[in-house]
Structure 1
C-alpha cells in the first residue's frame, strides 16, 4: 500500500505544538474534474477553502482564503450548526480541534481499469486539552468524479464521553443563491421531486422512523449554486448518505449568506456513550460536483455505484416472475408449480415466491400471523421449499423467495418463545403496524436468528432473496441495551449490517432485493449488500414514470426493480412493459390469463430486454424530457462506446392536438450515423414513427432531434427506439 505522509505537526505533552517548522501546504482531494481543498490556518485549525471545478494551476490553491472551519465543533466559539458535539468525562461540553497530521493512501482501483488512481486522504484532528481524536476520511474516485467522506471519533479519557452530534460530513459554500432539490413521498408515491430556494436559517431533511427510514424523505439531494440547475446546465452538488437508518441533512444559510451543509446520522434520541479506546465511525456521505447540471451529476453517481457502491454492479441481473398479484396469500403447491412453469414459458430467469409460504401455528394466510416462524406451511407446501427449487430447475428457471426476518407477529411461536427479543416499551400497551413488531437487532442472539433464517433458505439452493421490512420503530425499547436506550437507533442498523456481513461472507454473490414496502430503504449503506431495491409498491405505469425518474437521479437503472403488473388495467400491456424496461425488468402478472398476442409480445419483450440490457444497465442515462415539465417523458441510455442506444418515450396525459416537439438526444458520437428502429410493437402492428428504419448522424439527432410520438398520439402510449451505429 502506497503511503505518503504530507505533513505532521509536533505533538507536545498531549497537546498540539503552537509553532510548526513550516506552513502546511493545502490538502487537495482531487478527481478528474473536481477539487476539494482544505488548509491549515495559523491557528492550527483545519479550514475548508474550496469545492468546485479543478483548477489548472495547483499553486493557486494556496491563495484561497481560510473562511470556514472544515469540521466545526460545538461549545467554544461556533455560532451555527456544529458537525460534532460531545461532553467530556469531567462534564466539559466543548471541543476544540487542531490539525495533527495528514496522509494519503491508495484505495481499490476501478473495476474496469488496471490503473489505481483512486486515493484516500486521512486527516487527523486533535483536541489540544483532551485526548480526543477526530479523523476525517476523503476517498476520491478519480474517473467517476465522486468523493466519499466519513468520520472516526475516538478518545482516551478515563471514562466514556457522550456524543450528541456526529456528522459524516460538513461542506461549505459561498454563492449568491442556493437551490435545493429534495425527494419525498409516502407509501405508493415515493421519490417525489421538489425544488426551492434556500433562505436564511436552517433547512432540515430528516427521519426518525428507524427501520423504514426513507419512507417519507429520501437521504439524497441536489444543491444548485447561484441558480437553479437544469439537467444540462448549472453548478450542482449531488449528495447522498449511505445509512439504512435515521438520517439528518441540514442546510444553514448564515448572516453572511454562506451555506454550510452537514449530513449524517440523525442524533434524535441517540446520544451515544463512547468508551475509551473505542471508535465511533459515521456512515459514508457520497457526493459529486458538476458544472453541467443534474444529468452529469447523476451519471457520475451511476458509474461510481456500478463499480463501487452496489453489490456486483457491473454483473448481469435476473429477470423474474413474482406471484404476489397473481395469488396474494392464496396458493398451494400445484398452483405454484403452474406459475413456475409460466415463468419458463415467459422466458424470464427466475420465479420469486412472495409472502405467505411459512408458518404452521397458524399458517400464514394473511398479514396477522406467523412472522418469525420461517418453516414452510405444511398445508400449502407439503414437500417444502426444496420441491419448488426442483420444479424451477425442471422448467429452466431459478427459484427465489420472500422473507421479512427482522419482524414478528404476536401470533407466532417466536413471539411466545422469546418476548424479550421484541422492541417494545415496558408498562405500555404494544403498538402494532401491519399487525407486527420489530425484533431487537441490537441483541447478538437475534442477529444469529436472523442470519439463520437467511442461511436456511440459501442452503436449499434458493437463488434469490427478496428481503422486506414493512414496519418502522415505534415504542422503541430494547431489553438487551438496558441503560443505553439512546443507542437503539444506531446499534439496530449496525446489528443489521453485522447480519448482512455474515450473509455476504458465506454467499457473496446471491442476488438480493432490498425492499421495505416500497422505497423506504433506498441507500448505498444497504446496497453494498444488495443487487437491487424495490422503489415502490405502486406499479401503476404512469406513477412509475415519476417514481423511477426520482430515484434515477441517484441510483443506476440496474438497481431499480420495475415490474409489469395489473395495478392499473386501463394501461395497455405495452405501456406497462415499456415503463418497466427502463429499470430491472420483472413481472408480477398472471401469465395464463394473457391472450396469445399478449404472450407473444411479452416473450419478445423479454428477449429484446435481455439483448439490450447491457445498454440499459451499464450505459449512460440521459433524462431528456421531464414528466414534471409537461405531458411527455423521454429517457435515453447510451452504451459507453456510443455504438448502441435505447430511447424510451411516453405520452402521459396529452390533450387532443397537443404539439409534441422532437426530442434532442445526448451522448451520441456526432460523427457516426445511427439507424433507428422502433421495437416492442404489439404483434400485427407497424411503427407510425417517421424515424423508424431511418438513418441519421449523431450530430443531427443531438442538434435537431426526432419525434418519439406520432401526431395526435393518444395519452398513455409509449415507444421504444433502438439506435445502432452503422
Structure 2
C-alpha cells in the first residue's frame, strides 16, 4: 500500500505540472462531451451537447461553481465521477466503505489515453484516491457516424481486506437547461412500455427495479429527456438513454440547487452492499446515450444504426420468419402433430418451426406450468423419438427447427429440485413463495452456471440441427438467499446477472452463429447487454394488434425492429387477419396460429403476405425507420422504412379507432430522396381485392411525398394498408 501511495503521489505531482487546464474531449460527428482536469487535479465535466467546431473555444469552457469557504477548490463542482464523503453534496456516482470503516473517497486524475475501436474511439481515464489504494477506470466509447456514446467504469482496490461498494454508477452526466422533461416507461405483463412524461423539478426522481430477473416487468431501463419542452418526434433537443444490465437497475435524475440536472445510470444498490476483494475489479454496466437536435426520431435512428452494426448479436444478419405452436396447441401436442405443423410452416413460406413449452420431463412430466422445469429430457410419451426425430421431421419438411427453454428456473416438482436444493435461491427456514409455481436457480454458483450451460450444450451436441432457442424467464427472484454466497448475500443480485453473462459468453464462444430470442413473460427483459448474446426479444405476450401497435411504437424508439419479434395470433379475433398480419410485418414476422383453421381466403392472403415480406425483409429490418403518425396523437398510426440507397421504401398505415366523420389528413413520408421519382404499389391485399387507394400504381417525387403526402387514412376501424415504393 505504501508503494502504491508513493507512486500515486508522484503521478499526481507530475500531472500537476502538465495537467492544469488539460481538456479531455469525447466527440462524435455532432456531439461533444468535454472534461477538464482542474488545478486541484480533480476531473470535471465542462460541456455536454452539440458539437463545438472551434478548438479555441474549449479554453473558454468552465462551470460556474460554488466555492468552498476559502475559495481554494470547488465545493459543488460537476465532477465526472464524484465519490461519497467528498465535498459534493448530492448523490455520488460511487460510494465505498473502506476496510478501516471510512466511507470517504476522493478521486484524482492520473492519466488518460485514447484508442481506435470499430466505428470510433475509446477514451480510457484513470482516477485514484490519494489516501487509499483505490482506482477507478472510466471508459468512454464514442461512435462517430452514429453519434452514440457508450460509457462504463471499473472499480478496483488493493486494501488489506475487502471493501464494500454501496453505490456504483456507470457514469455521471450533467445538463444545464431552463427546464427538463423526462419520459420514462412502465407497465406490467401484457402492457409493456407505457410512457409517462413529467417535468423534473428540484430533488430526485428515481426509476428502479428490484425483481432480480424479470427486471423490466414494471419499469423499463430506457428514457427520453427533452430540454426546455417535452421530447418530440421530429423537432427539438432530446437525449435517449438506456442501460445495458439484465438485472436490477436504478436511474437517478437529480436537479440540484443551481438548476443543474444530474443523471446517474447504475445497478440498483437495493440489498446489494457488494463486498469486493483486493485485486478484483467491479465493472459497471454500459450506459448508452445519444443526442439529437431533430427530435426523438433522429435519436432513434442513431441507436438503431449503432446497435445493428456494433452491439446486437448478428445485427446485420438475417432473421428467420417462423411458426410457433404455443397459441395453437399449448401443452397438448405429440411428435406426429408437430411434424404436421412443420409442413404447414413450409407451405406458408416460413423459414422455421419453433417448439414452445411442454416438451420435457419424465418423472414429473411437463403437462402444465407446475412441474418439470429443470428436467430437460424429452418427454417419452409425447416425443418417443426425442428431439432428434423432430429435427429430422423439420429437415423433411424443409424448415429449420427451434426450441423453447427456460434454463434459469426450476419447479419444486422436478428431479433437479429433489437432487440439488443447494443450487436454488430459497430460504430454508421459511415457506417458499412461488411465482408461477417456480423458483430461480442460483447462477452466482459456478456449478449452476455449468449446469445451465450444459443444458444448451447437450441439446446442441446431441441435436446439431437445432437452429434457434427461445430462452424464457418467467419468475423474478423471490425468497432471496444464496446457499453459495452464504455470508455475502449483498453480492447475490449482482453476481446472479454476472453468472448469467458467464453462461451466455460460453454459449456464444462455442456456438457463435446460434440465433436466440430473449423472452420473459413477454417484454420483462430487453437491454443492450443481453442483446450481445440474443438476436431478438419478445416485447410482449399481448398480441392484440391494436395494443401491440402502441408497444411496438415505443420499443422502436430504443431498439431496431430486427430485434423485435412480432407474431400473428388469434388474441383479438375481431381484428381481421390482414390487420393482424400487417401489424406483425413492421417487425420480425412470425405466426402463432392454427393455419388449418383459416378460411381459404385468409390462408391465401397469409401465404402471399409471407412471400412478399421475405422480399421486403432486408428493407424493413435494416432500413432507416421513420415514425410518421403516432397512435398517441391520433386515431391512426404510420411508419415507413427507407433503404440506404433511397431506391426502395415501404409504408405501413393503420387505422385504429377513427372517430365518426373525423377529418382524415394526409400522411407525409420521411427519409426519401426528394429528387427521385417513386412508383407506389399497395401490397398485402386480400385475394380478389384491388386497391382503392388513389396513389396505387402512380408515380410521385420524393419531394411531393414528404411535403404534401398521400391520402391513405380511412375511417374504417382496424383497417391497414401497406405500400411498396420503388424509385424509377
- Equivalent residue, structure 1, for 2:189: 187
Q: Deviations over 1:454-484 (max 9, x none)?
A: 1122220211100000000111101000111
> In the alignment, does 2:153 pair up with 1:156?
no
Partners of 1:163 and 1:126 lie apart in 2 by 16
Q: State which of 501, 510, 522 in structure 2 corresponds to 1:497.
A: 501
Alignment of 1:27-106 (within 5 A): 27-66=24-63, 67=65, 68-106=78-116
- Equivalent residue, structure 2, for 1:327: 329
Q: Deviations over 1:561-592 (max 9, x none)?
A: 00000011000000000000010000000011
Q: Bigger shift: 407-416 or 192-201?
A: 192-201
Partners of 2:55 and 2:356 lie apart in 1 by 56
* Cα shift at 1:13: 5.5
SS of the aligned residue for 1:81 comes to coil
Partners of 2:627 and 2:229 lie apart in 1 by 20
- Equivalent residue, structure 2, for 1:275: 277
Q: State which of 601, 611, 618 in structure 1 corresponds to 2:615.
A: 611
Q: Deviations over 1:143-184 (max 9, x none)?
A: 111000000001111111110000001100000000111111
SS of the aligned residue for 2:17 comes to coil
* Cα shift at 1:709: 2.1
Partners of 1:22 and 1:88 lie apart in 2 by 28
Partners of 1:146 and 1:277 lie apart in 2 by 32
Alignment of 1:595-606 (within 5 A): 595-606=599-610
Q: State which of 565, 570, 577 in structure 2 corresponds to 1:573.
A: 577
SS of the aligned residue for 1:683 comes to coil
Q: Bigger shift: 47-56 or 580-589?
A: 47-56
- Equivalent residue, structure 2, for 1:128: 130
* Cα shift at 1:553: 0.6
Partners of 2:370 and 2:252 lie apart in 1 by 39
Contact 2:364 2:415 in 1 (8 A): no
Q: Deviations over 1:656-698 (max 9, x none)?
A: 2221100111111001111111100000111111111111111
SS of the aligned residue for 1:465 comes to strand
- Equivalent residue, structure 2, for 1:561: 565
Q: Deviations over 1:248-287 (max 9, x none)?
A: 0000011111100000100111011111111110010001
* Pair 428,591 (structure 1): closer, same or farther in 2 beyond 3 Å: same
Contact 2:96 2:165 in 1 (8 A): yes
Partners of 1:96 and 1:14 lie apart in 2 by 15
- Equivalent residue, structure 1, for 2:517: 513
Q: Deviations over 1:415-461 (max 9, x none)?
A: 00111111011311011011000001111111111111111222202
Partners of 1:95 and 1:152 lie apart in 2 by 15
Partners of 1:573 and 1:446 lie apart in 2 by 44
Partners of 1:49 and 1:86 lie apart in 2 by 26
Question: TM-score, normalized by length of structure 2?
Answer: 0.96
Q: Deviations over 1:340-364 (max 9, x none)?
A: 1111111100000000000011211
* Cα shift at 1:24: 4.5
- Equivalent residue, structure 1, for 2:540: 536
- Residue correspondences, number: 708
SS of the aligned residue for 1:635 comes to strand
Contact 1:15 1:127 in 2 (8 A): no
- Equivalent residue, structure 1, for 2:3: none
* Cα shift at 1:190: 0.3
Q: Which runs of 5+ in 1 are unaligned?
A: 1-8, 110-117
- Equivalent residue, structure 2, for 1:229: 231
Q: Deviations over 1:481-525 (max 9, x none)?
A: 011101000000000000001100110011100000011100011
SS of the aligned residue for 2:172 comes to strand
Q: State which of 111, 118, 121 in structure 2 corresponds to 1:119.
A: 121
Contact 1:122 1:138 in 2 (8 A): yes
Contact 2:21 2:39 in 1 (8 A): no
Q: State which of 411, 431, 452 in structure 2 corresponds to 1:409.
A: 411
Partners of 1:680 and 1:431 lie apart in 2 by 49
SS of the aligned residue for 2:681 comes to strand
Alignment of 1:82-481 (within 5 A): 82-109=92-119, 118-459=120-461, 460=463, 461-481=465-485
Q: Deviations over 1:293-337 (max 9, x none)?
A: 000000000001101111000001100000001100011111111
- Equivalent residue, structure 2, for 1:545: 549
- Equivalent residue, structure 1, for 2:696: 692
* Cα shift at 1:23: 2.7
Partners of 2:16 and 2:406 lie apart in 1 by 58
- Equivalent residue, structure 1, for 2:526: 522
Q: State which of 642, 657, 660 in structure 2 corresponds to 1:656.
A: 660
Contact 1:48 1:172 in 2 (8 A): yes
Contact 1:34 1:52 in 2 (8 A): yes
RMSD: 1.2
Question: TM-score, normalized by length of structure 1?
Answer: 0.96
